[in-house]
């Protein structure tokens, strides 16, 4: 690929597969009464997952156990065998949801940058110079968000998919997305899907321009002729085509972004990354906005959903021949 472009890691296909990638770094994000994934999972099972949309659930084993996840979500072992590459990688297991949708469960420690000098359990850690930006953000929260562009996009399991969705654990699905995210992106060869208007970056992300300029100076001086976008979408529901986001050029930018010291000092989440990644690969015009889905097809906040939704879920379970031990609601 030419400078400022990318070498596609995928071809566009007519029947794509989508992975919904979710990282759980502690049992709080699984079972919290207000933010826990277990409270909204029934809505994902009904309205988000399907034969061509799987859940790829990565858990940090030092802080949440697989048995807890399986029990809370009422998963059952799938009868199929994992592909050989995932068997060799270890730590993957294949489950089915109460409605028969597919879940790949990964137990693997996430990487913590060595220069921080702490591990994930040090949730109260802040640098000595940390006085102004995002003061209440913990290292755990910072890592859990910055995980997606680098560690998340490098997972072996994603080799079997065409698109990946990043959906927060406290998103409630209220109806099935129409069109599907994969179709919405495929029909126009869009490489990135956002579900909110872009917002201006605050002073807490003040070093982003310097980070982008440093990347351009080191890898592609042609990028210096264009200004990196200083805005970001909400990060709680995004879609990415893996042809771009697993390309070597984009992963190189992601590694640079991950290592940039200002991102740790100012507690960047993943939100500032996405638009800058499009800039680094000259792909900004290939994004699509599906902001109408927000608050119509899904909402952010970890609520259970309406009693009608819960009732419908129980009806679906009964039709599938299952009566769960734990009923939603």
pLDDT at position 306 over 50: no
Is-contact 274 250, C-beta < 8 A? no
Tokens coding 36 = 């826990």
Report the share of the chain in percent with pLDDT over 70.
83
Average pLDDT, the chain: 87
Q: For residues 71 and 73, what is the distance between their CA atoms, to the nearest angstrom?
A: 6
Predicted TM-score (pTM) of the model is 0.90
Q: What is the pLDDT of residues 38-94, one digit of tens each?
A: 999 999 999 999 999 999 999 999 999 999 999 999 999 999 999 999 999 989 999
> Quick count: other Cβ atoms within 10 Å of Cβ 111?
12
Kindly state the average pLDDT of the residues 281-304: 87
Q: Give the C-alpha distances (Å, rounded to integers) separating 249 from 5, 207, 219, 314.
A: 8, 21, 10, 46
- Which pLDDT belongs to residue 211? 92
Higher pLDDT, 185 or 228: 185
* 10 alpha-carbon distance from chain centroid: 19
pLDDT at 329: 28
Mean of the pLDDT values across residues 14-27? 96
Q: Give domain 19-112+128-198+234-246+286-303's CATH number out of 3.30.2010, 3.90.550, 3.50.50, 3.30.1490.
A: 3.90.550
Res 324: pLDDT = 42
- Name the region of 134 (left: φ>0; alpha: ψ -120 to 50; beta: rest): left
- Residue 327: pLDDT above 50? no
pLDDT band at 115 (very low <50, low <70, confident <90, very high): low
Q: Which residues lie below 8 Å from residue 295, measured CB to CB, with a gap of 6+?
A: none
Altogether, the residues listed in the chain come to a count of: 329
How far, in Å, CA of 285 to CA of 278, rounded? 8
pLDDT the model gives residue 47? 96
Is pLDDT at 316 greater than 90 in this prediction? Answer: no
| 153-201: pLDDT as tens digits | 999 999 999 999 999 999 999 999 999 999 999 999 999 999 998 888 7
Confidence of residue 301 (pLDDT cuts 50, 70, 90): confident
Tell me the mean pLDDT in the region 207-233.
91
User: Is pLDDT of 325 > 50?
Assistant: no
Taking the domains of the chain in order of start, what are their residue ranges?
Answer: 19-112+128-198+234-246+286-303
Average pLDDT on 295-323 reads: 64
Those residues whose C-beta lies under 8 Å from the C-beta of residue 183, and which sit 6 or more positions away, are none
β-strand pairing of 102-107 with 231-232: unpaired
Residue 126: per-residue pLDDT:
57
- Percent of the chain topping pLDDT 90: 66
- What local confidence, expressed as pLDDT, does residue 298 receive? 95
């Amino acid at each position: 690929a030419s400078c400022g472009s990318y070498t596609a890691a995928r071809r566009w296909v007519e029947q794509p597969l989508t992975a919904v990638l979710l990282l759980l770094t502690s049992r709080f994000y699984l079972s919290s009464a207000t933010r826990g994934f277990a409270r909204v999972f029934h809505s994902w099972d009904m309205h988000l997952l399907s034969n061509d949309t799987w859940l790829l659930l990565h858990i940090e084993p030092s802080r949440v156990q697989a048995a807890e996840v399986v029990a809370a979500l009422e998963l059952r072992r799938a009868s199929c065998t994992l592909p050989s590459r995932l068997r060799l990688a270890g730590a993957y297991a294949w489950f089915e949801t109460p409605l028969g949708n597919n879940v790949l469960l990964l137990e693997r420690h996430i990487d913590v940058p060595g220069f921080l000098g702490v591990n994930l359990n040090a949730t109260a850690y802040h640098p000595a110079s940390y006085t102004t930006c995002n003061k209440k953000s913990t290292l755990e929260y910072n890592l859990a968000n910055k995980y997606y562009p680098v560690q998340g996009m490098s997972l072996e399991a994603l080799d079997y998919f065409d698109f990946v969705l990043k959906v927060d654990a406290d998103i409630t699905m209220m109806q099935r997305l129409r069109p599907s995210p994969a179709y919405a992106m495929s029909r126009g060869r869009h490489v990135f899907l956002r579900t909110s208007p872009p917002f201006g970056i605050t002073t807490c992300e003040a070093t982003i321009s310097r980070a982008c300029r440093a990347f351009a100076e080191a890898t592609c001086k042609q990028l210096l002729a264009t200004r990196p976008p200083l805005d970001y979408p909400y990060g709680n529901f995004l879609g990415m085509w893996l042809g771009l986001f697993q390309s070597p050029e984009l992963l190189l930018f992601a590694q640079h972004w991950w290592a940039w010291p200002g991102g740790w000092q100012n507690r960047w989440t993943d939100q500032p990354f996405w638009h800058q990644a499009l800039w680094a690969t000259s792909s900004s015009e290939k994004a699509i906005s599906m902001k109408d889905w927000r608050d119509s097809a899904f909402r952010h906040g970890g609520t259970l959903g309406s009693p009608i939704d819960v009732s419908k879920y129980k009806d679906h379970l009964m039709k599938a021949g299952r009566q769960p031990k734990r009923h939603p609601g």
